[in-house]
Amino acid sequence: MAFVRKLTPKKMETMGVRSLEDIERDFAELLASRLPSAIVHDQVERLWDEANEIAVRAIETPQVAPCLDLLKRMQAMLKRHYLEGSVTTGGAAQSA
């Protein structure tokens, strides 16, 4: 049996990793912002990479499930954001 270390909030803080809640909050705020789509895209990439890095670190632990759930929610939020036409350029909705 492999030794499994729990990825606790304290451990994440020690590793310099933000909480999943912080990442999700920043993501939702970003999508709600009126920033240009190029800036949103770059910041979405950064937040996605940050959440994905936590998932990779937790891959063989039970803590991977909340990480994967967050990535799924982020993907669903992105789809809704773009399909509902929330991001616009010159009045026309951009496609993802």
Query: Is 75's pLDDT higher than 60?
Result: yes
Q: How far apart are CA 29 and CA 35, in angstroms?
A: 11
Could you tell me the residue ranges of all domains in the chain?
18-83
Check: CB of residue 13 under 8 Å from CB of residue 22. no
pLDDT the model gives residue 88: 47
- Whether 93 and 87 have beta carbons less than 8 Å apart is answered as yes
Residue 68 — very low, low, confident or very high, per pLDDT cuts 50/70/90? very high
* Residue 11: C-alpha distances to residues 8, 15, 30, 56 (Å): 5, 6, 27, 15
Q: What are the tens digits of pLDDT across the range 32-46?
A: 998 998 898 899 999
What number is the average pLDDT over the span 8-20? 69
What integer best gives the mean pLDDT of the chain? 79
- pLDDT computed for residue 94 by the predictor: 46
- pLDDT at 84 (0 to 100): 73
